[in-house]
Amino acid sequence: MSHIIAPSILSADFGNLSRDIGMINNSEADWFHVDIMDGVFVPNISFGFPVMQVLKKLANKYLDVHLMIVDPDRYITKFAETGATGLTVHYEACTHLHRTLQAIKAAGMKAGVALNPHTPVSLLSDIATDIDMVCIMSVNPGFGGQSFIENTYRKIEQLDALRKQSGSNLLIEIDGGVNTDNARKLIDAGADILVAGNTVFSASDPSAMITVLKNV
Ligand code: DX5
Ligand code: ZN
């Protein structure tokens, strides 16, 4: 399988959101990455259900929703109703992660777990076969346009080993600071999905940049 490119709409121009959604629809991107921030789990607030409704209406690709919120269980049904294909919760925000993942799947979505940069991959060893995707945060969550944390390569290799050892089919997503310099190396280390916000939307031709990332 060729790797998946998931542009993050956090870096889109919200004054021209339908244009930017159309650009992604017509590009070689595979998914939309949708960052939901509550101002509590992370020191920033992004957007919520009104934007989800717009995406549900206009986006014609997989909606990869990344919840950077406390108590995500409260909103699982609502994200399913507003079009999320996959729902990712943070390991650090879930006391009963196994239960949360089952609830996400019962609502008809793929279940993802995100790990902050300080959270070791080994904490997922007893739950690996219950997870559809692990999002390794390669920046501290909260903002687009931050610098990539180099320790990420080591975590990808550890997670790749863990999934092989456990027989899990989980996909590995990398989120934060992905660019044309590190994309190939991330794939070679074992990543399946690359999220890219700033790299795509600060490019003079965002669609051409998606093609570059897809073909690294
Ligand atoms: C960060 C978000 C990312 C962000 C990535 O908290 O989870 O998805 O949009 O943006 P870039 O690619 O600009 O680092
Ligand atoms: Zn994200």
Q: What is the CATH number of the domain that holds 132?
A: 3.20.20.70
Contact between 92 and 120 (Cβ < 8 Å) = no
Contact between 62 and 30 (Cβ < 8 Å) = yes
For the cut 80, the answer to whether the pLDDT of residue 1 exceeds it is no
Closest ligand 1 atom to 42 CA: 6
Of the pLDDT bands very low, low, confident and very high (cuts 50, 70, 90), residue 216 is very high
Please say if 71 is a catalytic residue: no
Write the residue with the smallest CA distance to atom 9 of ligand 1: 144
Which residues surround the ion ligand 2 when the cut-off is CB under 5 Å? 35, 66, 175
For the cut 80, the answer to whether the pLDDT of residue 196 exceeds it is yes
pLDDT of amino acid 172: 98
Contact between 67 and 90 (Cβ < 8 Å) = yes
For residue 4 and ligand 1, the question of a CB distance below 6 A is answered with no
Of the pLDDT bands very low, low, confident and very high (cuts 50, 70, 90), residue 20 is very high
What's the domain count of the chain?
A: 1
Q: How far is the CA of 161 from the centre of ligand 2 (A)?
A: 24
Distance, CA of 140 to CA of 99 (rounded, Å)? 25
For residue 145 and ligand 1, the question of a CB distance below 6 A is answered with yes
Place of tokens 């690294």: 216
Please say if 175 is a catalytic residue: yes
For residue 146 and ligand 1, the question of a CB distance below 6 A is answered with yes
Q: How far is the CA of 143 from the centre of ligand 1 (A)?
A: 6
Q: Which are the contacts of 165, defined by CB distance < 8 A and separation ≥ 6?
A: none
Distance, CA of 112 to CA of 131 (rounded, Å)? 6
> What pTM does this model have?
0.98
Determine the 3-state secondary structure of 115 from DSSP.
strand
Among the listed residues 20, 30, 35, 38, the single catalytic one is: 35
Report residue 140 as tokens. 């501290």
Place of tokens 């009963």: 96
Distance, CA of 37 to CA of 120 (rounded, Å)? 22
Q: What percent of the chain clears pLDDT 70, i.e. is strictly above it?
A: 100
The residue segments making up the domain with residue 107 are: 4-214
Contact between 173 and 195 (Cβ < 8 Å) = yes
- Spatial CA neighbour of 66 closest among 12, 126, 142: 142
Among the listed residues 30, 64, 132, 175, the single catalytic one is: 175
For residue 175 and ligand 1, the question of a CB distance below 6 A is answered with yes
**Which residues partner with 172 through β-bridges?**
134
What order of strands is seen across the sheet that includes strand 193-196? Answer: 4-7, 193-196, 171-175, 133-137, 110-115, 86-90, 62-68, 31-37
**Which residues partner with 4 through β-bridges?**
193
Cα→Cα distances 45→40, 67, 132, 140, 157, Å? 8, 11, 26, 15, 32
